[in-house]
Amino acid sequence: MNNAQLNELKTRYVASGAASPATQFAERAENALIWDADGNRIIDFAGGIGVLNVGHRHPKVVQAVKDQLDKVMHTCQTVMPYEGYVKVAEKLSQLTPVRGHGKVMLANSGAEALENAVKVARAATGRDNVICFTGGYHGRTFMTMAMNGKVAPYATDFGSMPGNVFRAPYPVPYHGVSEEDALNGLKMTLKTDANPRDTAAIVLEPVLGEGGFYAASASFLKAVREICDEHGMLLIVDEVQSGFGRTGKLFAIEHSGVEPDIITMAKSMADGMPISAVVGTDKVMDASGGNSLGGTYTGSPVSCAATLAVLEVFEEEKILEKSQALGDKLGERFAKWQQDFACVDNVRHLGAMAAFDVVADKANHTPDAELTGALCKKAREKGLILLSCGLYGNTLRFLMPVTIEDEVLQEGLDIVETCLKELSHA
């Protein structure tokens, strides 16, 4: 079927809240390229929203999935466990920088991982409250919608959210929230809204994902760790988007040296196969009773096989080094754009987690969401998938596969530059 035929089916049968606004349908893909149902070649700077750090259909991952399909597709690991689940748990325990010996539970999505992290934290502390941050994004289930630091579009139409979730400001100096402001705000939340004695955990992203790719400083993260320790609260770090090599480290929190009690992860774990994980200190993870964690499909054999293959690719192909090198290339090009274009400001990257803000006025940092949307649309017309994000909808984020070929990278960046020339005033 071609794009037009598939769009007709989408309009008729897919719920509008779930339907993509895109009119092209993926037919096949390879590393950083996608071909649609009409045969058009498209450069992918989105990577399934950060899911494909080792590229579309990495040969080693594809082979691992095929091999697993010849053995076992599903048993439900709580009914009949299998080697893949415990091997993934072993690897993640060894690689994840939580305090002490790590234990692991696997789930299907980032939201499920965050839901279970909160469950574990409540079981371990006997407390209910959770503190999150402005601009944070944690998922689309009810608990994670309550935890999100942005309402639209995630919670706009769905009524009341669960309680016992409180908010503190995230440090984004560019938007007038200093590290000192954020820490004072967190302390005020603990004083006025969330009694520390009733608070199970503080949950944060070391780099805001949907919130705009703003990284918290090491000093801020260390201060939050100290506040948690002072009050007997757990620190949960959400690495769903920043994890698995995006920032040049396996996990972004490693840049700070801070050891959380729990880390959640999902995107890029298995190169597109659905899986997520909660990794935490053993005593914390063992706090809830038998059969209290899990689900029918959690940690499926096929997704576990893909995860193990991804971890081998990371080591064999030096993905972390490639991520840092990619980030340096992006940072260099972004810096040039910031000089050349009045609308490009606040260029930034941590490894290959790279972005810049699109503004109407650099002096006042005035967001220009309309131009941001137009740039994404124009890029798509020219054969490039480009994503926006941010609390103000004016951040262009770059999540191409870390394994992208240099000539494809440069071709895509040239498209972005052309769009900037056509739509903005140099």
Count other Cβ atoms within 10 Å, centred on residue 179: 15
- What DSSP string runs through 122-155? HHHHS--EEEEETT----SSHHHHHH-S--TTTT
State the pTM of this model: 0.97
Percent of the chain with pLDDT over 90: 96
pLDDT in tens, 149-167: 987 788 888 888 999 999 9
Task: Show the tokens assigned to 38.
Answer: 């009409």
Distance CA 406, CA 317 (A): 15
Q: What is the pLDDT of residue 155?
A: 81
**Cβ neighbours for 332, distance < 8 A, ≥ 6 positions apart:** none
Q: Are 32 and 400 in contact (CB under 8 A)?
A: yes
Q: What is the CATH number of domain 62-316?
A: 3.40.640.10
When the pLDDT of each residue in the chain is averaged and rounded to a whole number, the result is: 97
Place of tokens 């994000």: 389
Distance CA 207, CA 352 (A): 12
pLDDT in tens, 77-99: 999 999 999 999 999 999 999 99
Backbone angles phi, psi at 300, to 5 degrees: -60, 150
Percent of the chain with pLDDT over 70: 100
Task: Show the tokens assigned to 298.
Answer: 């959690």
Q: What is the pLDDT of residue 204?
A: 98
Query: Torsion angle of alpha carbons 286, 292, 294, 296, nearest 10°?
Result: 160
Distance CA 184, CA 225 (A): 15
List where CATH 3.40.640.10 sits in the chain.
Answer: 62-316
pLDDT in tens, 1-44: 999 999 999 999 999 999 999 999 999 999 999 999 999 999 99
Q: What is the pLDDT of residue 154?
A: 81
Collapse the DSSP code of 125 into the 3-class scheme (helix H, G, I; strand E, B; otherwise coil) and give the result.
helix
Considering the four listed CATH numbers 3.30.2130.10, 3.40.50.150, 3.90.1150.10, 1.10.287.3610, the one that applies to the domain covering 3-54+318-423 is 3.90.1150.10
Q: What is the pLDDT of residue 84?
A: 98
Which residue, among 330, 319, 323, has the nearest Cα to 397 in the 3D structure? 330
Strand (E) or helix (H) holding 385: strand 384-385
- Does the pLDDT of residue 426 top 70, yes or no? no
- What DSSP string runs through 21-43? S----EEEEEBTEEEETT--EEE
- Does the pLDDT of residue 212 top 60, yes or no? yes
Q: Are 30 and 62 in contact (CB under 8 A)?
A: no
Q: What is the pLDDT of residue 280?
A: 98
Q: Are 166 and 149 in contact (CB under 8 A)?
A: no
- Does the pLDDT of residue 425 top 70, yes or no? no
Report strand pairing: 199-204 vs 129-133. parallel
Q: What is the pLDDT of residue 314?
A: 98
List where CATH 3.90.1150.10 sits in the chain.
Answer: 3-54+318-423
Q: What is the pLDDT of residue 156?
A: 83
Largest CA distance in the chain: 62
- Does the pLDDT of residue 45 top 90, yes or no? yes
Task: Show the tokens assigned to 169.
Answer: 């400001």
pLDDT in tens, 381-423: 999 999 999 999 999 999 999 999 999 999 999 999 999 999 9
Distance CA 241, CA 57 (A): 19
Q: Are 178 and 140 in contact (CB under 8 A)?
A: no
Q: Are 17 and 30 in contact (CB under 8 A)?
A: no
Average pLDDT over residues 67-74: 98
Q: What is the pLDDT of residue 423?
A: 95
Q: pLDDT-derived band of residue 57, with 50, 70 and 90 as boundaries?
A: very high
Rounded to a whole number of angstroms, the CA Rg of the chain reads 21
Q: Are 115 and 104 in contact (CB under 8 A)?
A: no
pLDDT in tens, 346-385: 999 999 999 999 999 999 999 999 999 999 999 999 999 9
